[in-house]
Amino acid sequence: MKKAFVIGHPIAHSRSPLIHGYWLRKHGIPGSYERIDVPPEALRDFLATMRDRGFAGGNVTVPHKEAVFRLLGRVTDRAAQLQAVNTLWFEGDTLVGDNTDITGFMAHLDDSLGEGWDASTRTALVLGAGGAARAIVAGLAGRSLERIVVANRTLAKARELVEGMATPTGPTLEALDWDDLERALPKTDLLVNTTTLGMAGQPPLKLTLGRLPRHGIVCDIVYVPLETELLATARALGLRRVDGLGMLLHQAVPGFSHWFGVTPKVDPELRRLIEADIVGHR
Ligand code: NAP
């Protein structure tokens, strides 16, 4: 029986066991996927002994993503770019780390908006400059956009992010002061919230979305609640919307495929299962 895990500290909140449990049942695989609370001081030992304990790999969540990146001898280019690891598996005897947030976010955008959405999207405005923002800017930078603007409450972090991600051939990257946000909206084709604003227990993200062009797309990666105030406003204005849950589901696909040998699909039944769990815990 193949075994995988998600490690974090704390870990009780993780919905990954529900996602992987669904795919294990759906594909009739006699495997397991468990939550393991690993405090920071036990991380190195956990990684060193996980194979002896029968694990084929697993997911890594807060607060271990950067520490695992530093502990591994081999990581993918994506993990190196973000300096954070969220998925582990073995290649031969070597433990390999990847970061699947980039492909998770982009796969969900492509699924939600349809192939070719990026051909008519010139400017993306990304709000926030934390770990999730780095993945999203990296993903968008690989597409045919002209500009990616990063606005953050702490401007220095937005500057650091764009300086670290700039490529000679990709879109122009710019940092924007949080106070100038409203003025940037009329020239924004795709707005992505990666801040914690709008999350249950946090203040909402208040923006005058009516300033966006009529073809504007509003994406919020917060998924608790499923529809944030930002997305509800976008819906009322008839703007195209992309929610945060799909990113969570899509980022799980590569890990399952490495550990259990089947590439699973993000299907409506999985979505309904996780939606019910989120609504049930409110
Ligand atoms: P993080 O590294 O802690 O970054 C948090 C960001 O939010 C920072 O840019 C921070 O700005 C900003 N922020 C916090 N409070 C703010 C406020 N009151 N006003 C303005 N900005 C504020 O967190 P993260 O890992 O990037 O995650 C961010 C959000 O994305 C969380 O809600 C998380 O649940 C969600 N997420 C979703 C997925 C998914 O699969 N859908 C994946 C990853 C993350 P400063 O730099 O100024 O502090």
pLDDT at 195: 97
CA distance 127 to 148: 11
Q: Supply the CATH number for residue 213's domain.
A: 3.40.50.720
Q: Interior CA angle at 150 toward 145 and 155, to 5°?
A: 160
Per the annotation, the verdict on 206 as an active-site residue is no
Domain count, the chain: 2
Same domain, 95 and 123: no
Same domain, 84 and 107: no
Same domain, 161 and 149: yes
- Classify 87 as helix, strand or coil: strand
Same domain, 120 and 71: no
Same domain, 193 and 70: no
Spans in the chain with pLDDT lower than 70: 282
Q: What is the pTM of this model?
A: 0.96
Atom of ligand 1 nearest to the CA of 245: 41
Residue nearest ligand 1's atom 12 by CA? 195
Same domain, 199 and 237: yes
Distance 264 CA to ligand 1 centre (A): 28
pLDDT at 219: 98
pLDDT at 188: 98
Same domain, 109 and 90: no
Q: Supply the CATH number for residue 52's domain.
A: 3.40.50.10860
pLDDT at 280: 86
Its sign, for the CA torsion 60, 63, 66, 69, is negative
Distance 134 CA to ligand 1 centre (A): 11
pLDDT at 169: 87
The 8-class DSSP code of residue 225 comes to S
Same domain, 202 and 220: yes
Catalytic residue among 2, 3, 26, 65: 65
* Residue 36 belongs to domain spanning: 2-100+252-280
pLDDT at 282: 66
Distance 198 CA to ligand 1 centre (A): 10
Pocket test for ligand 1, best of 6, 153, 223, 243 (most atoms within 8 A of CB): 153
Same domain, 117 and 218: yes
Same domain, 201 and 227: yes
Residue nearest ligand 1's atom 43 by CA? 132
pLDDT at 166: 84
Distance 71 CA to ligand 1 centre (A): 24
Atom of ligand 1 nearest to the CA of 199: 32
Segments of 31-177 assigned E as strands: 32-37, 55-60, 74-75, 87-91, 94-98, 123-127, 147-152, 172-177
Same domain, 66 and 190: no
CA distance 75 to 48: 16
Q: Which of 78, 104, 101, 74 is CA-nearest to residue 90?
A: 74
Same domain, 256 and 268: yes
